[in-house]
Amino acid sequence: MSCRVAAVSALSVAGAIALGSMSGSAFASPTHHAPTIASLKAQIAKLQKQLATDVAELAKLQGKGKPAAPTAPTVVYTATSAEGQNFTTPSFHVNNEWQLAYTYNCQTFGGQGNFIVQISQPPGKVGIGVSANDDGPNELGTGGSATESYHYGGTIFLDITSECDWTIKVTD
């Protein structure tokens, strides 16, 4: 129930009690006189105070159910062309949502070059959403950088082919 609805409901109950006692309904007691304006104001003030307390308590309870703030991605694997122009990473594990950030620069090669990443799973480890081999970045140019997202997890390794200088970083 929203705060506004609760406030209106509380005031409606107070009004119904007051009207009932003045008109002789079930709320009225034959031995009591009709409430005065001052007593009605006092009842309304009491109900408003209780409503404010209830709203504050509700806010506290709702705050306890908030999800934790997102954490920074975990770096799972990094490598550079210092590892070799044609390089196969060791196997490593990624969760269902992971990213591959890469850069390549062909300046030392002297022009355009290739940067190709093949994502593979070891034999017997092929999971849902990926074949034994999955195409990753495949660039032809003088250089560039990007981050690609993948939506499957498991044990993988990367085959990197490039005559250029490169870096990769896998996070999840």
pLDDT of residue 169: 97
The CATH architecture of the domain made up of 75-171 is Sandwich (2.60)
* CA dihedral of residues 8, 11, 12, 13 (deg, nearest 10): 130
pLDDT of residue 126: 54
User: Which residue matches tokens 């660039």?
Assistant: 139
Nearest to 162 by CA among 144, 75, 150: 144
How does DSSP classify residue 63?
A: H
SS3 label, residue 33 = coil
How does DSSP classify residue 129?
A: T
CB atoms within 10 A of CB 72: 6
Asked whether the beta carbons of 41 and 11 are under 8 A apart, the reply is no
Q: Give the sheet arrangement for strand 165-171, strand by strand.
A: 75-80, 165-171, 98-105, 143-150
Query: Structure tokens of 7?
Result: 């406030």
pLDDT of residue 14: 47
Distance CA 172, CA 163 (A): 28
42 pLDDT higher than 50: yes
Q: Is the pTM of this model over 0.75?
A: no
For Cα atoms 133, 109, 103, give the angle at the middle one, nearest 5 degrees: 50
pLDDT of residue 7: 43
CB atoms within 10 A of CB 36: 10
Nearest to 170 by CA among 144, 157, 162: 157
Categorize the per-residue pLDDT at 165 as very low, low, confident or very high, splitting at 50, 70 and 90: very high
What are the residue ranges spanned by the domains of the chain? 3-64, 75-171
